Amino acid sequence: MPEELHEVRLVVNGDAYDVRLPARRLLSDALRHDLGLTGTHVGCEHGVCGACTVLVDGRPTRSCLMFAVSAVDCQITTVEGLTRPDGSLGPVQQAFLECHGLQCGFCTPGFLTTVTAGLREQPAPTEDGAREMVAGNLCRCTGYTNIVRSVLRAAELAGLDSARPPEAGG
Amino acid sequence: MKPAPFKFVRPQGLQHALEALAADPGAKVLAGGQSLVPLLNMRLAAPSTLVDINGLPDLDAIAVTDEGVRVDALARHADVLASPDVRRVQPLVSLALAHVAHATIRNRGTVVGSLVHADAAAELPMVLSLLGGSVTVMSTAGLRRIEAADLFAGPLESTVRHDEIALQAFFPALAAGEGVAFTEVARRHGDYALCGAGAVVRVDGDAVVSARVGYLSVCDVPTVVDVTEAWGSPDAAVDVALAQLDPVDDIHATAGYRAQLVRVLTRRVLQEAYDDARSRRA
């Protein structure tokens, strides 16, 4: 018997996607396979590594621990949604680039989403605060030193962003 | 990795949810899913129906009164942890919640879901047991209250029936003269604890009139031990506790190591809860 498919509307990075998928399709797989948004990486698939972290209504959430059919009525933000409107890198992405906060890059999307939300709650973290912010994300390359630097740099860049007057006519 | 197929129901009303559960003995409630979905992904569980209650209205309240803290089924760990009222009325709930996994998991996981998942290695079942709280469940037959002492039947097994939804948990307030403490040892920050302990100590003046310790990740179910009679001698308190505990031996820790952690953590939480009681009196 073919598996029952559900029609769901997922709102990701502000765009609505209408998809038909089985109930057991994890949100992480739906983002990658059904929507083609392969920025979200799938690591451990049981909520431990943090690579698949996306923002659900602004809050970091493991997309491997949610079914896509449960993600209706939510605003989802993936790493693709962290760029500025003109397509250039957002402050957290820019900071990871400047501080070498990644090597192989597999875990990076999870860090970027987690830190984006973390800086909203804690705009000027201490070094300990930065470590705590990324405590739920595993990186096997960097040893975290440059990631912590990146978080602190991202806080500076985001602070400059919010201090800048809005552009006229924009 | 993907779970085995299941029938998916996303009810818009409580009655619909209860009927869906009653219709299938293999049905399971999906709330936060932070414990259930890993079990599904690893195919350690394969329910025939999932009833997703995340769309149900008015089920995410956190109500704090002088009597205690009432947490509804869809209140997330992060929201309960962030509540200053919860921290004021029953600080043990907040202390323990800070140890529940990582912030990202707490954003989605629910307090009530964690209780009825009944993992002996989880923090909240022990806290509910130690405080003598309860869970209110509902089926098509009506409401029923389950006291914490009757809730935990075994590892990952609660006494909630397949056709019932746990609607609310109740944690009694900190009483006058009481102090609390919580501590645990885990291999890594955010991991399940190898052993954890919480304490409620009640003082009258300088005298201790009651001292109870709850343990998680020691036995198959959260276990509470009254050590009031042994107060005054930490060694005696540890002996009383170990006499009532049967530490489990598993891949994470030997029974002997868990017993050693019980010795260390019992002393620590009793002292901290006593200090907390005295500081609140001041």
- Nearest CA-CA partner of A17 in A87, A98, A67, A75: A75
Domains of chain A: 5-81 (3.10.20.30), 91-163 (1.10.150.120)
Closest CA of chain A from B98, distance in Å? 12
Domain boundaries B7-55, CATH class: alpha beta
User: What are the domain boundaries of chain B?
Assistant: 7-55, 62-172, 178-281
Distance CA B47, CA B119 (A): 18
Contacts of B104 in chain A (CB under 8 A): 50, 53, 60-62, 114, 136
Report the CATH number of the B62-172 domain: 3.30.465.10
State how far the Cα of A95 lies from the Cα of A160, in Å rounded to an integer.
Answer: 12
**pLDDT surpassing 90 at residue B1:** no
Q: Which of the four pLDDT bands, split at 50, 70 and 90, describes residue B210?
A: very high
What b-and-e string marks burial along A95-128, b requiring 16 or more CB atoms within 10 Å of the CB? bbeebebbeeebbbbbbbbbbbbbbeeeeebeee
Kindly determine whether residue A67 and residue B37, on different chains, have CB atoms separated by under 8 Å: yes
Give the pLDDT confidence score for residue A162 in this predicted structure.
Answer: 80
Give tens-digit pLDDT for B228-244. 999 989 999 999 999 99
Chain B neighbors of A72, CB-CB under 8 A: 10, 55
DSSP label of A166: P
What kind of architecture, by CATH, is found in domain B178-281?
2-Layer Sandwich (3.30)
Q: What residues contact A90, with CB distance under 8 A and at least 6 apart? A: A82, A83, A84, A116
Question: Cβ separation of A47 and B105 shorter than 8 Å?
Answer: yes
CA-based nearest distance B122→chain A, Å: 16
Tell me, yes or no, if the pTM score tops 0.90. yes
The pLDDT tens digits of the residues spanning B27-60 come to 999 999 999 999 999 999 999 999 999 999 999 9
Hey, are the CB atoms on B108 and A46 less than 8 Å from each other? no
Cβ of B55 and A73 within 8 Å? Answer: yes
Residue of B nearest to A3 (CA): B5
Shortest distance, CA A168 to any CA of chain B (angstroms): 37
Read off the pLDDT of residues B159-204 as tens digits, 9 standing for 90 and up.
999 999 999 999 999 999 999 999 999 998 888 999 999 999 999 9
Do the chains contact at B104 and A50, CB–CB below 8 Å?
yes
pLDDT score at A165: 62
User: Is the Cβ pair A64, B78 closer than 8 Å?
Assistant: no
B188 contact A CB<8A: no
Q: What is the DSSP string of B27-82?
A: EEEESS-TTHHHHHHTTS---SEEEEGGG-TT---EEE-SSEEEEETT-BHHHHHT
**What is the pLDDT at residue A170?**
39
Alpha helices in chain A (DSSP H): 27-29, 91-98, 108-121, 127-133, 145-163
Could you say which residues of chain A have pLDDT below 50? 168-170
Q: How much of chain B exceeds pLDDT 70, in percent? A: 99
CB B119 within 8 A of CB B142: no
> ∠ CA B20-B21-B23 to the nearest 5 degrees?
65
